[in-house]
Amino acid sequence: MTVNPIALVTGAGRGIGRVTAIRLSQAGYRVALTARSRRQLSEVASQCPGETLTVPGDITEPGAVEALFATTERQWGTVTALVLNAGAATSAPVTRITDEDWRHQIGVNLTAPFECLRRAVPGMREVGDGRIVAVASMAAKRGEPYIAAYTAAKHGLLGLVRSAAAELAGTGVTVNAVCPGYVDTPMTEASVATIVAKTGKSTIDARRLLAGKQPIGRLIDPDEVADAIMFCVNSPAVTGQGINIDGGAVQS
């Protein structure tokens, strides 16, 4: 009897994580879902055709990553596809970034993904199979004003991906990042609200401003990011890459 492989998606309650979790389930994975909102996780689980496990929690809390993996392994076994999607963004001039904001951005966007990757790798190496995909950002490849903490964290995340991929080459474990531009998600809606509050622009004009950062002239669809994530999951010869999904903003 063939046992379906196991995937774990962080930040699975909405946006890119939600779409990716459903896609993995459609592809035959048993999918463990984690995010802070129990309600959102239940909604996502109800849209997955396959078996799911919901583990609500904040992965930046001490011990949360270990508990997440221990719960998944106890229920099913070794995670062989890990999607590191949980993240957050704030906006402020560099001189106004507080120590608390800096620690939070590094914690959720870099430290928590590192802890998940570190916890997943031994099991993947043992079975000789694993796919790790981090959702980074175009901010991992260039600097933009007013998002210094977020940019620093995402640059670090891409560096982690590249180093881990080099270290794990030949083990059957691949590590990649996808680097979206502005995606039509609740995180971008929060950015729109910030622009409206700080500049007085209308919501329509604020969305148009962010859409214009992609040369194709629109926001990226979450499904388009999920396409790239699934490409990484399905591609054993692709590792150490930061794949742009940005409508041509940064040409590799």
Cα–Cα distance between 109 and 85 in angstroms, integer?
A: 9
pLDDT in tens, 50-61: 999 999 999 999
Cα–Cα distance between 219 and 182 in angstroms, integer?
A: 6
pTM score of the predicted model:
0.94
Q: By percentage, how much of the chain surpasses pLDDT 90?
A: 88
pLDDT of 252: 73
pLDDT of 42: 98
- pLDDT averaged over every residue in the chain: 96
150 a catalytic residue: yes
Q: Of 144, 113, 157, nearest to 246 (Cα)?
A: 144
**Is the pLDDT confidence value at 1 over 60?**
no
CATH of the domain at 167: 3.40.50.720
**pLDDT average, residue stretch 176-199:** 90
Cα–Cα distance between 85 and 16 in angstroms, integer?
A: 7
Q: What is the DSSP string of 172-222?
A: TEEEEEEEESSBSSHHHHHHHHHHHHHH---HHHHHHHHHTTSTTSSPBPH
Q: By percentage, how much of the chain surpasses pLDDT 70?
A: 99
Query: Could you list the residue range(s) of the whole structural domain that residue 237 is in?
Result: 6-181+221-245
In a domain, 189, yes or no: no
In a domain, 198, yes or no: no
Angle at 13 between CA 204 and CA 202, to 5 degrees: 10
In a domain, 154, yes or no: yes
In a domain, 195, yes or no: no
In a domain, 186, yes or no: no
pLDDT in tens, 2-14: 679 999 999 999 9
Cα–Cα distance between 22 and 106 in angstroms, integer?
A: 28
Assigned token pair, 164: 């881990």
pLDDT in tens, 107-160: 999 999 999 999 999 999 999 999 999 999 999 999 989 999 999 999 999 999
pLDDT in tens, 223-238: 999 999 999 999 999 9
**pLDDT average, residue stretch 68-91:** 97
CA distances from 24 to 6, 204, 231 (A): 9, 33, 11
In a domain, 194, yes or no: no
In a domain, 67, yes or no: yes
Among candidate residues 29, 146, 150, 182, the one labeled active-site is 150
pLDDT of 189: 85
Domain count, the chain: 1
Amino acid at 115: E
In a domain, 165, yes or no: yes
Q: What is the DSSP letter of 5?
A: P
pLDDT of 198: 86
